[in-house]
Amino acid sequence: MKQIICLEPGKFEQREVTRPVAEPGKVILKVKRIGICGTDLHAFEGTQPFFTYPRVLGHELACEIAEGQGPEINFKAGHPVTFIPYFPCNNCIACRNGKPNCCTKIQGAGVHIDGGMTEFIQVPAYSLIDGEGLTSDELAMVEPMAIGAHAVRITEIQKDEYVLIIGAGPIGLGVMAFAKVNGARVIAMDVNNTRLEFAQKYFGVDHLINALENPVEQIAKITGNEMVTAVIDATGNKRAIEGSLEFLAHGGRITLVGIQKESFCFSHPEFHKRETTLRSSRNATREDFNQVVTNIRNGNVNVSALISHRITLHSVPDQFPLLLDPQKGVIKAIIELD
């Protein structure tokens, strides 16, 4: 079978490898679609933390069952599925406290272990998510949308509260979508007006702000000078993170979804006087995946609208670098295998 491996930053290679054989408690999946996310792009650039090379990238997958046996295999061959691509130890303090998404020994497909840029992949049966009723395109979007759903859930977004979401990339758009599902009044902020307009057209955000055009004044005007009670950063940009505090109401909370390698800092007096809650949001849980699948099935979230570019598996070494070009206008690219 064909497999694409990232040998080192900036270099892909296609290889022929042996198709895996199902082990007890595991299932072989035929890969149909692979979503390309920021993790993959940053790995290619060499700026992704928690990363080693060589590595088979890819963890946003639409698949169908190819083979697998045992009582934990509940689907027949050909059944559409995706899976939770971060595998916990189930024994550490985080796992015991119901937080397998931040397991101390977590193994993320395409990050710590090889992922899905391949024709067939073996995964634990317990990680499967039923994809009945979803298209392959929709299934490939479940994992990134689950990242957004998780951030919204742990931030405890409430109906009618003002929420500022910084970054209108795929993850930020997912955050916006589920903040709207929760009934929030969503303010989207980015430096790209095209992406902001996309967020409003397809995800119904309430207000758009270009971060280069006096954002503090704009947010004060929108909120009646009270500012927002929640900020969710989906950029991982140091300057954006450090600037988020000036948009926050007293008693508010900040959640960081984006990640970068550097340290960041806040003014302690400004942070303190707000009694600010600061937290990170890592990965997602089965609860979040199930919420996403339900909302796609119900038509509450239009994930297919995100897909702007398509490439094939064999074209990855040549086409992948082009996806980093801002002039291409990529919102979400996927790799097609059928």
In which residue ranges of the chain is CATH 3.40.50.720 found? 151-280
Return the pLDDT at 320.
94
Do residues 174 and 204 lie in contact, with contact meaning Cβ atoms separated by under 8 Å?
no
Q: Is the peptide bond before 54 cis (omega within 30 degrees of 0)?
A: yes
Give me Rg for the CA atoms of the chain. Answer: 20
Return the pLDDT at 296.
97
Can you tell me the mean pLDDT for 311-315? 96
Which CATH class, in words, describes the domain spanning 2-141+303-336? alpha beta
Return the pLDDT at 38.
86
Tell me the C-alpha distance between 287 and 150, whole Å: 8
Return the pLDDT at 92.
98
Each residue's pLDDT tens digit, 11-46: 999 999 999 998 999 999 999 999 999 889 989 988
CATH placement of domain 151-280: 3.40.50.720
Beta-sheet strands, E only, within 183-301: 185-190, 207-210, 228-233, 248-256, 277-280
CA atoms within 13 A on the CB side of 98: 1
3-state secondary structure of 12: strand
Mean pLDDT, all residues of the chain: 95
Of 293, 311, 312, 335, which Cα lies nearest the Cα of 134?
293
Tell me the C-alpha distance between 175 and 198, whole Å: 14
Residue 171, Cβ neighbours under 10 Å: how many?
A: 25
Return the pLDDT at 48.
75
Of 188, 181, 57, 75, which Cα lies nearest the Cα of 126?
75
Return the pLDDT at 260.
79
Q: Which of 67-71, 75-79, 146-150, 332-336 has the lowest mean pLDDT?
A: 67-71
- Res 168 pLDDT > 80: yes
3-state SS, 40-68, equals: HHHHHHCCCCCCCCCECCCCEEEEEEEEC
Do residues 62 and 129 lie in contact, with contact meaning Cβ atoms separated by under 8 Å?
no
- Tokens representing 183 are 């009934």
Residue 164, Cβ neighbours under 10 Å: how many?
A: 27
In which residue ranges of the chain is CATH 3.90.180.10 found? 2-141+303-336
Return the pLDDT at 240.
96
Can you tell me the mean pLDDT for 305-327? 93
Each residue's pLDDT tens digit, 191-250: 999 999 999 999 999 999 999 999 999 999 999 999 999 999 999 999 999 999 999 999
Return the pLDDT at 326.
86
- Res 70 pLDDT > 80: no
Return the pLDDT at 39.
87
Can you tell me the mean pLDDT for 127-131? 96
Return the pLDDT at 198.
95
Each residue's pLDDT tens digit, 240-296: 999 999 999 999 999 999 987 789 999 999 999 999 999 999 999 999 999 999 999
- Res 71 pLDDT > 80: no
The pLDDT confidence band at residue 140, using thresholds 50, 70 and 90, is: very high
